[in-house]
């Protein structure tokens, strides 16, 4: 018997227990056990999930990677926009964004230049706010390296 990770924790999986029937939950309930209207809904959900998986498989991976990178950019901007700015949280997002962009340089497709420009801009905004807050005596610089290379 093996285990399967789920958001609710690890669940034991016994392949022999399914008897060839699709399992809907960890209690061994199969689609055959559902009332007809619930089974139809469950089958539709399974079809929709398969269609989404097919769409993901047929989309260039850099599209999804860049989408996540923009999420990190947005996270940094949100923390920089707070009153007062949360420099420590912004630094983590900026450093993560920078680490991925630096490591994957040349592999991020057509939007790579845009992502790099956003990284440069958010780093400059971070450094500007960090200096402003230090001048006001409101905050010490966090330990992150969000300033990075802003060239």
DSSP H helices in the chain: 36-57, 61-81, 87-103, 112-136
Residues 71 and 129 in one domain: yes
Residue numbers of the domain that contains 36? 2-57
Do 14 and 23 touch, CB atoms closer than 8 A?
A: no
Residues 66 and 129 in one domain: yes
Span 14-27, pLDDT tens digits: 555 545 555 545 56
What pLDDT score does 25 carry? 52
What pLDDT score does 29 carry? 66
Whether 141 maps to a domain, the answer reads no
Span 89-115, pLDDT tens digits: 999 999 999 999 999 999 999 999 999
Whether 15 maps to a domain, the answer reads yes
| Total-model pTM | 0.68
Positive or negative torsion for Cα 132, 79, 96, 102 = negative
How many domains does one find in the chain? Answer: 2
Whether 112 maps to a domain, the answer reads yes
Whether 107 maps to a domain, the answer reads yes
Residues 69 and 92 in one domain: yes
What pLDDT score does 101 carry? 98
Do 100 and 57 touch, CB atoms closer than 8 A?
A: no
Domain boundary among 18, 42, 57: 57
């Amino acid at each position: 018997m093996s285990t399967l990770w789920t958001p609710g924790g690890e669940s034991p999986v016994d392949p022999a227990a399914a008897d060839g029937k699709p399992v809907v939950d960890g209690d061994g309930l199969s689609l055959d056990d559902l009332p007809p209207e619930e089974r139809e809904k469950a089958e539709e959900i399974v079809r929709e999930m398969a269609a989404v998986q097919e769409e993901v498989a047929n989309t260039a991976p850099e599209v999804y990677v860049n989408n996540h990178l923009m999420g990190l950019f947005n996270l940094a901007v949100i923390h920089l926009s707070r009153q007062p700015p949360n420099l420590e949280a912004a630094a983590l997002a900026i450093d993560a964004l920078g680490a991925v962009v630096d490591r994957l340089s040349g592999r991020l497709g057509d939007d790579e230049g845009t992502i790099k420009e956003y990284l440069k801009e958010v780093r400059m905004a971070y450094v500007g706010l960090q200096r402003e807050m230090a001048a006001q005596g409101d905050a010490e610089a966090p330990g992150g390296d969000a300033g990075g290379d802003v060239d």
